[in-house]
A and B are shown apart, each in its own frame.
Chain A
Amino acid sequence: MDVKHIKDYLSWLYYQYLLITCSYVLEPWEQSIFNTLLLTIIAMVIYSSYIFIPIHVRLAVEFFSGIFGGQHESTVALMS
């Protein structure tokens, strides 16, 4: 029962996705190109954010603590 509910909801969600991105009116091969492109882009965004965001955050923390923080705190931050 619950599984059916979730399935209905997912198909509704997919329908909304089709309508909003206009894939609804694309031909199947265009749809697959579009979905592939979109998935690739999303995957790349997630992957690169996984790789780069921690580094950037650390650098940013270092930078700002260098400006605002005292000597003492920054060493603490680096050590931790």
Chain B
Amino acid sequence: MPRFGAGGISSGLNHKPVMNGVQRWENGALKNGMMSEEKVHNGGLYKRPFNEAFEETPMLVAVLTYMGYGILTLFGYLRDFLRTWKIEKCHIATERVEQKDFVPLYQDFENFYTRNLYMRIRDNWNRPVCSVPGERIDVMERFTDDYNWTFKFTGRVIKGVINMGSYNYLGFAQNTGFCADASAKSLNQYGAGMCSTRQEIGNMEKHEELEHLVARFLGVEAAMTYGMGFATNSMNIPALVGKGCLILSDELNHSSLVLGARLSGATIRIFKHNNMQSLEKLLRDAIVQGQPRTHRPWKKILIVVEGIYSMEGSIVRLPEVIALKKKYKAYLYLDEAHSIGALGPNGRGVVDYFGLDPRDVDIMMGTFTKSFGSAGGYIGGSKVLIEYLRAHSHSAAYATSMSLPVVQQIISSMKCIMGEDGTTLGQKRVEQLAENTRYFRRRLTEMGFIIYGNSDSPVVPLMLYMPAKIGAFGREMLKRNIGVVVVGFPATPIIESRARFCVSAAHTKEMLDAALREINEVGDLLQLKYSRHHFVPLLDRPFDETTYEETED
């Protein structure tokens, strides 16, 4: 379960950003006339236009989607019935006979879903790729003769598939060029594995160099790096907060943040996606009421948000979050996994994008897996924070330190983005990405697809809705030599299945045009052009109901 909201399907649906959007829009329209002064004040927080739209799901589409799931569920029950009566062979793990009276392991909804719905379109995921995950990839062809229960290779390779799925935002996933050369040199010099932790003898000069570089890149006092982005979140949040602390988490936060929050033992409260009223209400309640029962004040309040949300393509409303955090004296944990490198005029993430001061964010977290084409994660912040984490974080104490070729890849690509390699190559890539993103998003919107998210976000979700279309879209696109990622439950609410494109600076205009042409064709074939251009500005906040309206009270 990658999300808080996905615990039950219903909760996922209740917090649909769409609903949210409509409501907020109405609020905004109502209050607009009344608070003209606030408008200026609030609008001043943003130095650039913030266009984020979530078009409402058309009613007919929603009904048909539910109907489709209904039919599939009925057939799922039929198949389960056949399996229990041994009429049909069961391919999937079941309860063992010896454990008959134990707690059942495979009976919850997610198992049912995997067995009976996911299995039917499983060929769209886990496809083996046999080349560098750059702008074009080679995919191994495979086939199934038992309806996706097993796959066999045909021995052929589908060559030159345009890759619209990798998080290769700046195109640093390369096997040639200066980054790869430097990594190869580093491999020759140090070998691949470190065989010890940072606290013992796995602390190399390159690690120190990387940390200083990251700190400089982010504009913070100090930084610390880890071998895995997921573990950076899930192991450091428990080091920062604990019992008696409160975590305010966005409902669509990544599962690593969810896991970290749960492991910490702190109380977790969830606010609606990117909804500042919801966040402010939770903050206010937390301060007024304190801890449940005892009513002692919370020890710490930590707001956890992401820079770019990887499934919605939305950008956090950072100026407002920072204003709220300052007003209520909370701490802010910002996960820049997708935004670092991909956003901002200098590629330095959301903070750069909004032109804010990085020191206003208490904990800057990010990963090297996306824009830098490498692996690992970092945490940046004040010197005190980093010293504390160095001593207390589990992934610093118990995990082997990062492999040095990997470190070298980060150093080379980061220096390239910063222009410290003496070229403007990095800056060009950042600009190219922004241009590609705008072009790709604009063209898709013009074609009439429903596209979610912010107009500057390189993550572009295209809504598919119906379960059969998830499978059909992936297959049809691969047939046309385009590799895409399709996403369904449990990564999204059950009716909001989507295809997610990740635009890269490495995509040329020709590739994007080729991809767009095919998407257009498949869109016509599958009738995906749902948009009626009823845009609901999720939060056109400069004009929206303000979060500071009651400051004077």
- Beyond contacts A20-B67, A25-B120, A25-B471: 16 other A-B pairs, Cβ-Cβ < 8 A, are A19-B468, A20-B68, A20-B466, A20-B468, A21-B71, A22-B71, A22-B72, A22-B467, A24-B468, A24-B471, A24-B472, A25-B468, A26-B75, A27-B147, A30-B75, A30-B78
Q: Which residues of A contact B471 (CB under 8 A)?
A: 24-25
**Interface residue tally for chain A (C-beta within 8 Å):** 14
The minimal Cβ–Cβ distance linking A32 to chain B, given in whole angstroms, is 12
How would residues 108 to 141 of chain B score, 1 for a CB under 8 Å from any chain A CB and 0 otherwise? Answer: 0000000000001100000000000000000000
**Cβ of A25 and Cβ of B466 under 8 Å apart?**
no
Q: How far is the CA of A3 from the CA of B488 in the complex (A)?
A: 39
**Cβ of A19 and Cβ of B121 under 8 Å apart?**
no
Q: Does A44 contact B (CB under 8 A)?
A: no
Residues of chain B from 140 to 188 with CB closer than 8 A to chain A in the complex: 147
How would residues 461 to 494 of chain B score, 1 for a CB under 8 Å from any chain A CB and 0 otherwise? Answer: 0000011110110000000000000000000000
Q: Does A34 contact B (CB under 8 A)?
A: yes
How would residues 11 to 51 of chain A score, 1 for a CB under 8 Å from any chain B CB and 0 otherwise? Answer: 00001101111111111001000100000000000000000
Residue of A nearest to B121 (CB): A25
Q: Does B94 contact A (CB under 8 A)?
A: no
**Cβ of B75 and Cβ of A21 under 8 Å apart?**
no
Q: Does B527 contact A (CB under 8 A)?
A: yes
The minimal Cβ–Cβ distance linking B295 to chain A, given in whole angstroms, is 52
Q: How large is the interface on B (under 10, 10 to 19, 20 to 34, 35 or more residues)?
A: 20 to 34
* Residue positions of B touching A, CB distance < 8 A: 64, 67-69, 71-72, 75, 78, 120-121, 147, 466-469, 471-472, 525-527
Q: How far is the CA of A13 from the CA of B117 in the complex (A)?
A: 24
Assuming the A-B contacts A25-B120, A26-B120, A27-B147, are A19 and B469 also in contact, with contact meaning beta carbons closer than 8 angstroms in the complex? yes
Sample of 15 A–B contacts (CB below 8 Å): A18-B468, A19-B527, A22-B466, A23-B468, A24-B468, A24-B471, A24-B472, A25-B121, A25-B467, A26-B75, A26-B120, A27-B147, A30-B75, A30-B78, A34-B75
Residue of B nearest to A25 (CB): B120
Q: Which residues of A contact B72 (CB under 8 A)?
A: 22, 25
A-B complex: 4 closest residue pairs judged by Cβ atoms: A25-B120, A24-B468, A22-B68, A22-B468
Q: How far is the CA of A30 from the CA of B468 in the complex (A)?
A: 15
* Residue positions of A touching B, CB distance < 8 A: 15-16, 18-27, 30, 34
Q: How far is the CA of A25 from the CA of B467 in the complex (A)?
A: 9
Residue of B nearest to A15 (CB): B525
Q: Which residues of B contact A16 (CB under 8 A)?
A: 527
Q: Which residues of B contact A21 (CB under 8 A)?
A: 67-68, 71, 468
Q: Which residues of B contact A15 (CB under 8 A)?
A: 525
Q: How far is the CA of A35 from the CA of B226 in the complex (A)?
A: 55
Q: Which residues of A contact B527 (CB under 8 A)?
A: 16, 19
Residue of A nearest to B68 (CB): A22
Q: How far is the CA of A34 from the CA of B71 in the complex (A)?
A: 9
Q: Which residues of B contact A27 (CB under 8 A)?
A: 147
**Cβ of A20 and Cβ of B147 under 8 Å apart?**
no
Q: Which residues of B contact A24 (CB under 8 A)?
A: 468, 471-472
Q: Which residues of A contact B75 (CB under 8 A)?
A: 26, 30, 34
The minimal Cβ–Cβ distance linking A11 to chain B, given in whole angstroms, is 11
**Cβ of B472 and Cβ of A20 under 8 Å apart?**
no
The minimal Cβ–Cβ distance linking B523 to chain A, given in whole angstroms, is 13
The minimal Cβ–Cβ distance linking B176 to chain A, given in whole angstroms, is 41
Q: How far is the CA of A25 from the CA of B117 in the complex (A)?
A: 9
Q: How far is the CA of A34 from the CA of B72 in the complex (A)?
A: 11
The minimal Cβ–Cβ distance linking B114 to chain A, given in whole angstroms, is 14
Q: Which residues of B contact A26 (CB under 8 A)?
A: 75, 120
Q: Which residues of A contact B67 (CB under 8 A)?
A: 20-21
Q: How far is the CA of A68 from the CA of B519 in the complex (A)?
A: 60
The minimal Cβ–Cβ distance linking A78 to chain B, given in whole angstroms, is 43
Residue of A nearest to B525 (CB): A15
The minimal Cβ–Cβ distance linking A42 to chain B, given in whole angstroms, is 15
Assuming the A-B contacts A25-B120, A25-B121, A27-B147, are A19 and B71 also in contact, with contact meaning beta carbons closer than 8 angstroms in the complex? no
